[in-house]
A and B are shown apart, each in its own frame.
Chain A
C-alpha cells in the first residue's frame, strides 16, 4: 500500500495578509486553528503519495517552494495548483519530511516577500520538531492502545482456555494420570478433557484448534462442550467424533478446524478404544517397544459426513500412553532444528512411571529448546500409566491391538439409507464375504437405516443416525442407532402378506422389517427410551447344511 503524506491542511483566509495556515493534517488534530470567519475559509486536504516526485523535492528544498514555478510531473503539484496553493513550506525534522505548510496567494495580491519567506522558514524550523514530537506521542499512544488490546485479547483467550481445562484429574486405582498444558504467548487452541462415562470408563479428549487468540479459544470452548454432550449419548469414539463434526461444520469460522483424538478407557481391563480426527497418534510404551495406535479421520469442522475409524487396544500393566499436541514435536532449538517425532519416540521408549514421563518430556524439551526459547505453540501432554503387576481382568476376546470397528453418522434425511448401505459395503469389502451374503447385508442395512430415518429421525437431517460396524473372525455386526422420535419398532407389526396386498386388503408397503429379518442371521432391537438400536448380525460364511 502506498504510504502517503498529507500536507498540513491549508486555510485560505481573506484576513489581511494572513498566510493561509495551519493544521498538521493526518497526525495532528485538524480544523480551524485561527479565528477566521467561517465564510472566508476554505479548507483543502491534499495527499502526497510517497512515490510522488514532490516528496523528494521537498525533502531537500532549502525553504519555501513556489508551486507555480515548479516544473515537476507530479499529481500532488497539480492538485495543489488546482486548490490554489501558492507557496509550500516543507516541514523537516531530523532530515525527515513530516508535513508541509501550504499557503494560498497573499491577500494583498503581492508576491510573498523575502521577509515573508524568511519568517516562514523560521516558523517551519521551529514548528517541525514540535509537530514531530506530537506525531510520535500520538503514534506511541496508538501503539500502546493496540498493545493493550492484544494483551487484553490474550488475557480473554487464556481465561476461556483455562475455564475449560479440567481442574482435577481422574483418580483411578492402579492408574497414574498426568496432564500438562503450556500456552504459547499468543495462546493457541489446545485442550484436553476427561469425561466420566457409564461403567466406570473415562473418555479422554486431546485437541488442537487451528489459529490463535480469542477465535481459537471460542472454537475450542464450543468443541469441548460438543464433545461432552456427544459423549453422554454414545459410547463409541467414532460416533462421538462424527456427531461432533456434523454439529461443528456449520459453525466453524473460515480457515479453521480442530484436530482431536477421542479415546475411551476401561480402567479395570486396560481396554482403550479411540477415534482420531486428524490429530497426532498416541504412543504406547509396551514391553515390546513403542507403538502408535492408528486411526484415521478428517479434522473436525472441515466437511460433513466424515467417517471416523476406531482402533482398539489393551494397555498392559506397566505400560505408558502419551497423548499430545503438535506444540511439542514442532518446538525448535536455537539452531532451528525441530524436536520431531523420532526424538519423542525415543523418550517414550524409556521405562518409567507415568508422572515421571511427563516431567521427563518437559525437561528434555526445555533442554532441547534452551532457556531463551519463545514457545511457538501451545503444548498439551496427557500421560496414562497402568501400574505394573496389577491383577489383570481379562478383556473379552480382545487381541492386544485390533482394528475391527468402524462408525459413522448419517443425517436423518430420506435417501441417506443408501449412503449407510454403501459405507458399510465399502468397509466390509475385502473381508471375503460371499456375494449373496454381502447383498443381503446391504439390503438389511439399507432397510434398517431407512426405518431409523423415517421413524427415529422423522426425516429431519439434524437428527443423526449412528452406524457402527464391528467385525470379528466369525461375523459382521452392524448396529444402527436412532433417536426414537416416533417411538420404537412395535413388536406386533403386521406381517406382510402378498395375497392380501394384491387383493387391496393390505397396503402395498410394510416390507422393511420382513426383509431385514430375512436378510441377516439375527436382528435384535434394544432401546433405552431415548434411543433405539437395531443390531444386525451376519455370519461371514454360509452356514453348512445340517
Chain B
C-alpha cells in the first residue's frame, strides 16, 4: 500500500551478503535494520553491501541506524559498502564521514 514503507531484502551473492533496502529510512526502520544485520550474522559472510537504490528518503535517525549497523559490523570484523546512493545522500555520507568507514560504490552495483 505505502510505497514509503521500509523493507530489507537479504540476498547472498558470491563472497558477500547484500541488504537491499526500500522505502523511507527513518526511525521506523529500526527493527527491520536490526533484523537484517542479525541475518547477516547468521549467514556468516565477512562482506556486507547495503543497496540504497530503492530508498528515496533518509533522515538523521536513518543515518543513525546505518551508523549502528556499521559499528556492529566493524566490531564483528565485517566490511560494509554502500550501493545505489543518490548524489545527495553520497554528500551526506561524506559530511558525516560515514564514507571514511564504508566504501561508497558508484553506480547501481558492483
Contacts and interface: CB of A to CB of B under 8 A. Distances in A.
Interface of A: 414-415, 417-418, 436, 439-440, 443, 446-447, 450, 496, 498-499, 501-504, 507-512, 514-515, 518
B67 interface: yes
A504 B92 CA distance: 21
Interface stretch (B6-14, B36-44, B46-54, B94-102): B94-102
B88 A436 contact: yes
Given A498-B101, A511-B60, 15 more contacts: A414-B27, A436-B87, A436-B91, A440-B88, A501-B67, A501-B71, A508-B68, A509-B60, A509-B61, A509-B64, A511-B63, A511-B64, A511-B96, A514-B96, A515-B95
A415 B59 CA distance: 11
Interface in B59-110: 59-61, 63-65, 67-68, 70-71, 74, 86-88, 91-92, 95-98, 100-101
A508 B97 contact: no
Contacts, number: 66
Given A436-B91, A440-B88, A443-B88, A498 B67 contact: yes
Contacts of B87: 436, 439
Contacts of B28: 415
Contact of A518 (B27, B63, B95): B95
B101 A502 contact: yes
Contacts of B96: 496, 498, 511, 514-515
Contacts of A446: 57, 59
B60 A498 contact: no
18 contacts: A415-B28, A418-B4, A418-B24, A418-B26, A418-B57, A436-B87, A439-B86, A439-B87, A440-B88, A446-B59, A447-B60, A450-B60, A450-B61, A502-B74, A509-B64, A511-B64, A514-B96, A515-B63
Given A439-B88, A511-B96, A502 B71 contact: yes
A508 B65 contact: yes
Contacts of A512: 60
A379 to B, nearest CB: 48
Contact of B71 (A436, A508, A509): A508
A508 B59 contact: no
Interface of B: 4, 24, 26-28, 57, 59-61, 63-65, 67-68, 70-71, 74, 86-88, 91-92, 95-98, 100-101
A447 B59 contact: yes
- Shortest beta-carbon contacts, A-B, top 6: A439-B88, A511-B60, A508-B64, A508-B67, A509-B64, A498-B97
Nearest to B71: A502
A515 B68 CA distance: 18
A429 B58 CA distance: 20
Contact of B92 (A414, A415, A508, A515): A515
A440 B92 CA distance: 9
A507 B70 CA distance: 13
Contact of A504 (B4, B57, B71): B71
Contacts of A507: 64
A502 B74 CA distance: 8
A205 B64 CA distance: 46
A502 B95 contact: no
A235 to B, nearest CB: 30
Most chain A C-beta atoms within 10 Å of own C-beta, residue among B24, B57, B60, B88: B60
